[in-house]
Amino acid sequence: MWETETHELLKRILALMEAEHESSHAQLREIIRLLRELVPKPKAVRAILTYRIQGETRMASTPLALVVGQTATPSEVELDAQGNSEPIVGPLTFAADASGAIAVDSNTGVVTAMAPTADGAVATSQFTDAANGLVSNAFPFTVSPPAPPVAVSAVLSYTADPLPAALKAKLKK
């Protein structure tokens, strides 16, 4: 079927190009439109989301542990049925679950840890490719409260107790 359609499109392009009169803009636009129909449609069947933090890329197999205020940068890939990487046709839209533990920039996918997750709970982020409708895996995060501040200096002061009267008398001698 595809070969027959391709053959017909190529015949139409050739006919436009062989026209006896000079090519017009309209003919060129039609040739471009027909050529675009020959471009294979995206064949990605799976979308995978990973995140980088401190230079290390993490897969979604275990939750990525963040501290409130910390950020993580996404990396996206789309695969065909054989597991080969396919170009992302996008645009991509990122979203977080409704837990409120993380905020996700809808355009860049950067995650910011906002509030601690409950014990055993995770917050998730994922993306949708608007061009082919693929939705990525839900990438899990846990969020911990920030560490208490660390002291950088300390002050020690002493207060002397009053001397007993007997000791005062001995010191005067």
- pTM, 2 dp: 0.62
The confidence score (pLDDT) of residue 173 equals 67
By the 10 Å C-beta count (0-12 exposed, 13-18 middle, 19+ buried), 72 is classed as: buried
Q: Report the first-to-last Cα separation within the chain, whole angstroms.
A: 120
Kindly give the confidence (pLDDT) of every residue in the chain, 173 residues in length, as a single tens digit, with 9 standing for 90 and above: 456 777 677 777 777 766 655 567 777 778 777 777 776 665 889 999 999 988 888 888 889 999 999 999 999 999 988 889 988 888 999 999 988 999 999 999 999 999 999 988 999 999 999 988 999 999 999 999 988 888 788 888 888 777 777 777 777 76
| Domain residue ranges in the chain | 2-38, 46-144
Which runs of consecutive H residues, i.e. helices, occur in the chain? 2-17, 25-38, 165-172
Class of domain 46-144: mainly beta
